[in-house]
Structure 1
Amino acid sequence: MIGEATEELHLSLHDRHFDNQPIDLPLDVLLGKTPKMTRDVQTLKAKGDALAREGITIADAVKRVLHLPTVAEKTFLVTIGDRSVTGMVARDQMVGPWQVPVANCAVTTASLDSYYGEAMAIGERAPVALLDFAASARLAVGEALNQHRRNTNWRYQTH
């Protein structure tokens, strides 16, 4: 027997080896009388300078864009583990004969012998967020809703 539950609101542990009681405290120390969480939230206007394009070459601009996670090469992120661990992955991140991680959604089947499942996608607008985070959020949600409308009637083909 590991322990015994009683109606007493007290947690105690008796150690038979050392013949002592290393834990002996009322349960309200763990579960009750927790401090109330308070939040002081203030909305601040975003500060930032206008995008300064003077002095930026095309090569520099391309290099800056390619450093953003949205468009950067992500093989290192998706090859560190098993991409089809459940056996029900119909579409993973890798696309095409060269297996480039550019898929815009993931598709899984609901079971090993089914013709239905789930399609998942995450909207991300990091380049826009650099200039206007609120616009970035609106674009991501709008795109997710648009993609949902267009992609709800997909079918998984078995071979």
Structure 2
Amino acid sequence: MNANRLSPRERQIVQELAGGSSLSMAAETLGISKLTAKGYRDTARNKLGCLVVAPAMVAAAYDAGALEIPAHDGSVVEMTDEQRELLPLLIAGLSTTEMSKKLFQHIERVRFNLRGLVAALGGKDHAHAVTRAYQLGLAGPRRQSVEQQQFAAPDEVLGAHPAAAP
């Protein structure tokens, strides 16, 4: 994986997509043609070892350290179990049809829950929802520390000494 070898333009394109911009918007922001932006995106995908859709490319960029995960903004996310079940599939880059088959759910139900997931995360689109998941510690390297905090024993949270326990 050549993630650290992304050119500055490739990194800018991936960053724009991670921020919720479409490829056209990214091209306009960077003052390049859409075709040129597409070339940078495709090269970045190849370097990240990710030949699928933008959400998976964004996740691969965060996992490889090619993009810095935004700082947690203090947001609290409330998701349904169905939305929570979709998050790893979205991050993996599965299509709505693939998610439907994997979860044995009607495609319209999956679409409904995906829209809810993106909204719950405060995402502008699927790629931005992945960014928000990483930012909020629901995916990536921060996930383990969040789970440890959630499931810590009450004594650990309060800082009680182990010898003081009955």
If asked which structure has higher relative contact order (CA below 8 Å, sep 6+), I would say 2
Which structure's CA Rg is the greater one?
1
Q: Which has the higher strand share?
A: 1
TM-score category of the 2 structures, normalised to the smaller one: under 0.3
Q: Which has the higher helix share?
A: 2
* TM-score normalised by the chain length of structure 1: 0.22
